[in-house]
Amino acid sequence: MIPLDIRRELIEAGDNQMSISKQCELLSVARSTLYYTPSKASGKDLEIMQELDMLYLEDPTRGTRRMTKELRKLGYTIGRYHVRSLMRVMRLKTVYCLPRTTISDPTKYKYPYLLRNLKITRPNQVWSLDISYIPMPKGFMYLVAIMDVYSRFIVGWSLSNTMEAEWVVNTLNASIAQYGKPEIINSDQGGQFTSDEYVNFVKSLETVKISMDGKGRAIDNVYIERFFRTIKYDKIYLERPETGNELYTVCKQFINYYNERRDHSSIGDVPPNKAYRRVA
């Protein structure tokens, strides 16, 4: 399958015979990823969301009550309900220090967590994917990343200004076309991953099992969470891209470096690409 970057470049905005929507459909490109236009919010909310992102990376166990207190310490006049709504937009998931004894809506816990006590010994045994909010000076975007857990290799990623299930499915489909199918795909219980579009796509792969984190679990998707923290602190927060295209370039540069050159002690002091390729 043609790589996503190349397929995106094949779309012609000035084509009078075929709409952009139709071109995106034929090329399996989510339209929301085409223009890299950051979503907008008020200047005040963007400032608060930037602080929330930093506070979350510092301590993901903070819930809405503690986040509100921290923001007030920083001088913001804000209520807990406003904080909750911003955290939902940012897709910030509070991590609980201790196991929760009850689940408020068990119908949403659709698939079990399959990685507990599982020994991960080879590439394409387990892929982990998640979505992270990316703050920008004049808006925000979302980054989805897919990691091979054994090697920490990023097999796929994409940016969007919305969190559509179609976007996630297209990114996952492109990764599978390039690297083959994993045995297990692990995600959280977010709406994109419990959607019919995502679940039906993974089920159509037949041999792939769906795994989902327990709500608020600190360790279930830890590797992809560490990757998001790293790309933000080591690249995005330092370069402060102002446009969607700049953000795309920054992410591409870092992920290429992360995959090809950045040694990881947990995989034998080699870059993820080498760990992935030496066995795959």
Q: How confident is the model at residue 40 (pLDDT cuts 50, 70, 90)?
A: confident
DSSP string, the chain: ---HHHHHHH--TT-SSS-HHHHHHHHT--GGGTS-PPBP--HHHHHHHHHHHHHHHH-TT--HHHHHHHHHHTT----HHHHHHHHHHHT--PPPSS--S--S-GGG--S----TT----STTSEEEEEEEEEEETTEEEEEEEEEETTTTEEEEEEEESS--HHHHHHHHHHHHHHH---SEEEE-S-HHHHSHHHHHHHHHTSSPEEEEPPTT-SSTTHHHHHHHHHHIIIIIHHH---SHHHHHHHHHHHHHHHHHT--BGGGTSB-HHHHHHTT-
Query: Which residue segment(s) compose the domain that 244 sits in?
Result: 109-277
Establish if 224 belongs to a structural domain.
yes
Query: Does residue 11 carry a pLDDT above 80?
Result: no
Query: Does residue 240 carry a pLDDT above 50?
Result: yes
- Average pLDDT on 235-257 reads 92
Establish if 177 belongs to a structural domain.
yes
135 and 230 housed in the same domain: yes
70-119 tens-digit pLDDT: 999 999 999 999 999 999 888 888 876 544 444 444 555 578 889 988 99
Question: How much is the pLDDT for 100?
Answer: 46
Greater confidence (126 vs 215) lies with: 126
Question: How much is the pLDDT for 3?
Answer: 59
Establish if 58 belongs to a structural domain.
no
How many structural domains are present in the chain?
2
140 and 268 housed in the same domain: yes
Establish if 48 belongs to a structural domain.
no
Question: How much is the pLDDT for 102?
Answer: 40
10 and 138 housed in the same domain: no
Establish if 184 belongs to a structural domain.
yes
Q: Please report, for the domain that includes residue 158, its CATH number.
A: 3.30.420.10
Q: How confident is the model at residue 15 (pLDDT cuts 50, 70, 90)?
A: low
Establish if 73 belongs to a structural domain.
no
Establish if 21 belongs to a structural domain.
yes
147-194 tens-digit pLDDT: 999 999 999 999 998 888 999 999 999 999 999 999 999 998 888 999
